[in-house]
Amino acid sequence: MRPLLAPASVPWSVVVDDARLGAIRLGGRVRHEPGADTLLLVVHGLGGSSESPYARRAAAAAAALGWSCLRIDLRGADGSGEDVYHAGLSSDLLAALREPSLAGYARVFVLGYSLGGHVTLRLAAEGSARVRAVVAVCAPLDLGATATAFDRKRVWIYRSHVLRALKATVQSVVARRGSDVGWDLPAVMRVTTIREWDARVVVPRHGFADVEDYYARASAGPLLGSLAIPALYIGATHDPMVPEFAITPSLARASDRLEVRWLDRGGHVGFPGDAFDEGSAEASALAWLARAGG
């Protein structure tokens, strides 16, 4: 129950250009290890942030290896009211890696959790000259299938927790940008499902035709057959939010660049400290990255 303290870090930001809203600032926390040639980029999940417990665990695991670490906040996740993110914005990760203070790292690895893992796998499929390998933990692959699974009545408590954080993000954006984002805020605040959230928030903000268009165009699953770099998928067979049955059809079409590990212990982005041979999920993920990335 005691909060994990991440290694000392400093605020970080970069500005990306958006066709509709203009300049969008992405924030986060960075730790530059003296003499390090390796950078770990950590990407949080839906409703999370750079301060999520798993992001802090990843930062601690990176520091233990002497790697520098950037824990990025996707659009608006830091409460700044800049914007809202969606599952297909791998371009924001590329923009982050172009930030001048990160230019000197010879090796870049990406560790993404849940929706952040989905964005990470899109990056791995699209390719980046600097990123050597990636790990996705409990990531959705087919956004439509995962939304249907996440919207089941039995997992309402998890969904309510995520939506609470997402609604706070939307309120911050409206307070800052007013009507520019084009949402019906009272309707958004009544949302109770992920599919409705995507329809009322993501679709109008980011220019998709409808929610099915968003899922079809943004899903990483169809891209797994053309991964440009090595990737590891870590899943939990008892994950209530991103269940195995919503993932396996996409994995069946993946290239041999994707390695898959299913854990029978743990749940969504949370595992016992001894669930892996290397100990924690983060220690195992970083050990794999070191091997796969050379």
Model pTM score = 0.97
Q: How far apart are CA 161 and CA 2, in angstroms?
A: 20
How far is it, in rounded angstroms, from Cα 174 to Cα 250?
36
Residues 6+ apart with CB under 8 A from 54: 44, 45, 48, 113, 137, 269, 270, 281, 282
The number of residues making up the chain comes to: 294
Residues whose CB falls within 8 Å of the CB of residue 36, separated by 6 or more in sequence, listed in order = 66, 67, 68, 105
Structure tokens at 130: 């600097």
Give residue 4's region: left, alpha or beta (phi > 0; psi -120 to 50): beta
At residue 98, the pLDDT reads 95
Q: What is the pLDDT of residue 51?
A: 96
- Measure the CA angle with vertex 159, ends 59 and 242; round to 5°: 65
**Topology classification of domain 10-149+219-292:** Rossmann fold (3.40.50)
Burial zone of 94 (CB within 10 Å; 0-12 exposed, 13-18 middle, 19+ buried): middle
* β-bridge partners, 131: 108
The per-residue pLDDT string of the chain (294 residues; one tens digit each, 9 = 90 and over) reads 777 889 999 999 999 999 989 999 999 999 999 999 999 999 999 999 999 999 999 999 999 999 999 999 999 999 999 999 999 999 999 999 999 999 999 999 999 999 999 999 999 999 888 999 999 999 999 999 999 999 999 999 999 999 999 999 999 999 999 878 889 999 999 999 999 999 999 999 999 999 999 999 999 999 999 999 999 999 999 999 999 999 999 999 999 999 999 999 999 999 998 999 888 999 999 999 999 997
The amino acid occupying position 52 is: S
Calculate the alpha carbon distances from 104 to 38, 57, 107, 204 in Å: 9, 24, 9, 38
**SS3 at position 113:** strand
Alpha-carbon span 81 to 18, nearest angstrom: 15
Provide long-range contacts, Cβ within 8 A and 24+ apart, for 197-203.
197/163, 197/166, 198/86, 198/143, 198/147, 201/84, 201/166, 201/170, 202/84, 202/86
